[in-house]
Amino acid sequence: MSGPLDTHPRLSAVPLFPLPNVVLFPRAVLPLHVFEERYKAMTSDALDSNGQIAMALLKPGWEKNYYARPAIEPVVCVGKILTHERLADGKYNFLLQGTMRAKVAREHVSGDLAYRTAELIPLEETPVMEIDLGGEREKLISLFGEDELGQTSVGRQFAQMLSSPLATADIADLLAFNFLEDLELKQLLLADTDVRHRVGRTVRALEDLVPMLLPSNRGGGSSPSMN
């Protein structure tokens, strides 16, 4: 009988990288430093294969079972290694770019691997036309056109992005990754397949956050990194 992954064979056994404080989004680039033996093996195997690794958020209580199989959120972001550096001691530095939202169908249980792998199913999103997100895009343009925020390095980058043909939904994902700190909210946004609802929620969260992003309210600190 045909399975749901017949058209996505590359997602039949994707390495899982569970972390307690990271939610990756499609298009976003995450710098990672890998030092645990199991994740050094995972990185090496991924580089020998298709470079795919799925970032998963650990559920609360993970500390009790970190070196085994602590519970993870069921929606993950599949990423692809862009560049990597293998250090003399076998550790790795690499950049992982998110490529798609996916749901864990089942984890594989195998004593042959030190790290976790899972069968993943790409999430199907509710179709939306760019014109239907015009109001949300105008709000974002207004946010990053503010005198203070628009003069920051990251503000200028997003202002330029908003003047490009890049889809509003993609920009919203990048904004959520770079600016939002509430892990629960970020995980909800990752799992939300209603694009219009997701973008609207991201915009509202950013509107609430803007006063804290302004240089005058941040003690002269540096802007968030675009990675």
- Give the least confident one: 72-76, 113-117, 185-189: 113-117
- pLDDT at residue 7, rounded to an integer: 41
- pLDDT at residue 111, rounded to an integer: 72
- pLDDT at residue 227, rounded to an integer: 36
Which residue from 41, 7, 9, 24 is spatially nearest to 116, judged by alpha carbons? 41
What does the pLDDT look like over 126-137, one tens digit per residue?
A: 989 999 999 999
159 vs 215, higher pLDDT: 159
* 3-state percent helix, strand, coil for the chain, nearest multiple of 5: 40, 25, 35
Structural element, H or E, at residue 80:
strand 75-86
- pLDDT at residue 223, rounded to an integer: 38
Phi, psi of 197 (to 5 degrees): -65, -45
Residue 1's pLDDT band, with cuts at 50, 70 and 90, is very low
Residues 114-123, mean pLDDT to the nearest whole number = 95
Which residue from 164, 163, 173 is spatially nearest to 199, judged by alpha carbons? 173
The average confidence (pLDDT) of the chain is 87
Which residue from 96, 83, 113, 5 is spatially nearest to 54, judged by alpha carbons? 96
C-alpha to C-alpha distance for 42 and 57, rounded to whole angstroms? 17
Which residue from 203, 198, 196 is spatially nearest to 187, judged by alpha carbons? 198
Structural element, H or E, at residue 206:
helix 195-213
Q: Domain ranges for the chain, please list them.
A: 9-122, 130-217
Under CATH, which number does the domain 9-122 receive? Answer: 2.30.130.40
Sorted by sequence, the CB contacts under 8 Å of residue 197 that are 6+ apart come out as: none
- pLDDT at residue 3, rounded to an integer: 39
Residues 140-156, mean pLDDT to the nearest whole number = 78
Residues 179-201, mean pLDDT to the nearest whole number = 97
What does the pLDDT look like over 65-105, one tens digit per residue?
A: 777 789 999 999 999 999 999 999 999 999 999 999 999 99
Beta-carbon-side half-sphere exposure of residue 112 (alpha carbons within 13 Å): 4
